[in-house]
Amino acid sequence: MRLASAQEITQDMFEPLQLGAGEGEAITRPPISYWREVARRFRRNRLAVAGLVILVALLAFAFIGPFLTPWDPREQSLFDTNKPPSAEHWFGTDNLGRDIFARLCYGIKISLFVGIMAALIDLVVGVIYGGISGYFGGVVDDVMMRIVDILYGIPYIIVAILLLVVIGPGLWSVILAMTITGWVGMARLVRGQVLQLKEQEFVLAARVLGASHLGIILRHLIPNAMGVIIVQMTFTIPGAIFGEAFLSFIGLGVPLPLASLGTMANDGYQYLRIYPYQLIIPAIAIIMTMLGFNFVGDGLRDALDPKLRR
């Protein structure tokens, strides 16, 4: 059916496009690498950017904040107990007269250190264990995964409490308690990725060229699973921070005179009805830390997903 129009379309209105040799196959847009595409998609995710801003602000607060206040986080003063926030003490003082602002800077630093160290240990142990299990398969995979299933069925917080009761509270004791069974999730994830990747052609080519088993795992399989591993790490860190806060809250975490967000929450809980700011301030810091890492983790998961790449 012919459509009526104000002007008749004729052949004279068109002219062929003149292209030189090779111009038809020329790339009109500069190529974008995978990681640049990941960064672009991450920047377009507002929640992910907000989470990154929160984490940067917390790091700046933890490392720059102590230079902004004259108070020592361990200094006690019976004449300055339970003071509300003021120009002298920005976040007030606790029941021992310690400045909450200074203690919060120190507490965020300790909590981040525990979370990052626990995540790094989980990364190393889980990647090695899961990589070996997934690559060799067979009986090796069956035995190693049954061990993981047993450890996965035990609540890690119970293991952490029992371990801290035996060896006593301490900074490295808390990190050990967080990682003694915390690596099993990373191991299962890496094992699943390796099972998929080891059947690819580039792994067969590496075997034909004489690459060793360790070389294939470290140079080919693990780097190709790094996107999923990074995302898992961003979720492991807040889990370890929350676990440390819980252990410190019940008195099995970081010992005095060290301060963490959990110990500050424990101190403030005892005076919640009278001085609520002593609990609200560290609780807000814990919430912001958890939200920051979760937002960044969600953003990285979406940005690293190859299905979303255009």
Query: Which among 35-39, 201-205, 251-255, 291-295 has the top mean pLDDT?
Result: 291-295
Query: Which among 118-132, 211-225, 230-244 has the top mean pLDDT?
Result: 118-132
236 burial level (CB within 10 Å; 0-12, 13-18, 19+): buried
- Predicted local confidence at residue 214, as pLDDT: 81
**Residue 82 Ramachandran class (φ > 0 left, ψ -120 to 50 alpha, else beta):** left
- Predicted local confidence at residue 6, as pLDDT: 52
pLDDT confidence bin for 31, thresholds 50/70/90 = low
Q: What are phi and psi of 256, to 5 degrees?
A: -65, 150
E-only strand ranges, 111-254: none
Contacts of 293 (CB under 8 A, 6+ apart): 51, 55, 234, 235, 237, 238, 241
Query: For the chain, how many structural domains are there in total?
Result: 1
Counting residues of the chain whose pLDDT is more than 90, the rounded percentage is: 5
For residue 197, being part of any structural domain is answered with yes
What's the whole-number mean pLDDT along residues 280-287? 89
Please tell me the pTM assigned to this model.
0.78
Helices 226-249 + 156-167 axis angle, to 10: 50
pLDDT confidence bin for 180, thresholds 50/70/90 = confident
For residue 30, being part of any structural domain is answered with no
Report whether 66 contacts 107 (CB < 8 A).
no
For residue 85, being part of any structural domain is answered with no
- Predicted local confidence at residue 156, as pLDDT: 76
Q: What's the pLDDT tens digit per position in 36-94?
A: 777 888 888 888 899 999 999 999 998 898 888 888 888 787 787 888 888 888 888 88
Q: Give dist(CA 123, CA 117) in Å, integer.
A: 10
For residue 189, being part of any structural domain is answered with yes
- Predicted local confidence at residue 54, as pLDDT: 93
For residue 178, being part of any structural domain is answered with yes
Contacts of 67 (CB under 8 A, 6+ apart): none
Indicate if the pLDDT at residue 307 is higher than 90: no
Q: C-alpha dihedral over 146, 147, 150, 152, to 10 degrees?
A: -100
Residue-range definition of the domain harbouring residue 244: 54-70+97-308
- Predicted local confidence at residue 4, as pLDDT: 47
User: What mean pLDDT value characterizes the chain?
Assistant: 81
Question: Which range has the worst mean pLDDT, 23-32, 61-70, 290-299?
Answer: 23-32
Q: What is the CATH number of the domain that holds 304?
A: 1.10.3720.10
For residue 108, being part of any structural domain is answered with yes
For residue 29, being part of any structural domain is answered with no
Closest CA to 61 of 295, 285, 294, 297: 285
For residue 81, being part of any structural domain is answered with no
Counting residues of the chain whose pLDDT is more than 70, the rounded percentage is: 90
- Predicted local confidence at residue 57, as pLDDT: 92
Report whether 187 contacts 129 (CB < 8 A).
yes
